[in-house]
Amino acid sequence: MNRIFSGVQPTGNLHLGNYLGAIRNWVRLQDAYECIFCIVDMHAITLWQDPKELTRNIREVTAGMIAAGVDPAKHIVFNQSMVPAHAQLAWIFNCVARMGWLNRMTQFKDKAGKHKENASVGLFAYPNLMSADILTYKATHVPVGEDQKQHLELARDTAQKFNNDFGVEFFPLPEPIIPPEAARIMSLRDGSKKMSKSDESDYSRINMTDDADTIALKIRKAKTDLEPLPGAMEGLEGRPEASNLLGIYAALSGKEKAQVVTQFEGQQFSDFKKELVDLAVSVLGPINTEMKRLMTDTAHIDAVLRSGAERADAIAAPIIKDVYDIVGFLRP
């Protein structure tokens, strides 16, 4: 069976965009692949994290994944820092990847902005750690959104260069898994901006920890325009908020967006929002309840992560041993 590796940062406030854009897709892939799901806490500290918050967030993200349907008994769920091979292979890849490759990474430019001289070395070099995450397990496939394609291309380039440099056919070139219509969920306050936990307004997003009343309130307050809903996709041009809300309904219901546009043709937003509230609560409510239950049992979450790390290490340790032999490291 082909092997998937995928990771999520433990930065707290898992929201609807995380669920629809990543976690739900992981659940769907579980029957077709051997899956390794990682909470990438080493990536998280490329920007400063409060240590106590980081610990809590690792557990919360794990709870959210399990509540959404990721099966930690059938597949591997763990946090990255518990498996040494990630850091070990990342250093080797620091010596394989080229500066020019990293200079082209758009996410570093976005995160560092005008202050790149003050950014951490980790923020600049973390794509090499991402490559190591994937190749430590010789993963054959990686689920990616549009904004992650560049990082997977870097992993492929690095694997190819390692193989060429040492005259081996050791690392596979992982293939992307791109959902047919990846759910790109935008802010409830500004349909031109991606839904984000960093947005100052909590009303910009639906968190996976929100209860039914909070979800309903946020959807009712979501920004709209004055026109009724259109009957064709072309009618969404220049209407980002309408497009976003219809897209959320489509993603939650499993329908094509065009179907949803036809379904609600001519309706006022007030009526449509009632339907969206009912749907969102029916999908997210059970996840919210289970997530809260899991967060009261941190011993169980820690046991899941510990078991997952042991299983992950059992795969990674022999691979890193082979890499060390290929590179020529002596271990008497």
Quote the radius of gyration of the chain (alpha carbons, Å). 21
Tokens representing 305 are 């992560």
From 138, 161, 197, 223, active-site residue: 197
Please tell me the distance from the alpha carbon of residue 252 to that of residue 116, in angstroms, as a whole number. Answer: 38
From the list 330, 326, 311, 302, the residue with the least C-alpha distance to 137 is 311
Please tell me the distance from the alpha carbon of residue 101 to that of residue 52, in angstroms, as a whole number. Answer: 34
Tokens representing 59 are 């557990």
Q: Which residue has the tokens 């850091």?
A: 87
From the list 297, 296, 184, the residue with the least C-alpha distance to 248 is 184
Residue 111 is among the residues annotated as catalytic for this protein = yes
Neighbour count for residue 165 (Cβ, 10 Å): 12
Tokens representing 211 are 């209860």
Question: 240-253 and 269-295 helices cross at what angle (nearest 10)?
Answer: 50
Please tell me the distance from the alpha carbon of residue 10 to that of residue 43, in angstroms, as a whole number. Answer: 9
Residue 197 is among the residues annotated as catalytic for this protein = yes
Residue 149 is among the residues annotated as catalytic for this protein = no
Please tell me the distance from the alpha carbon of residue 215 to that of residue 213, in angstroms, as a whole number. Answer: 6
Q: Which residues are catalytic?
A: 111, 194, 197
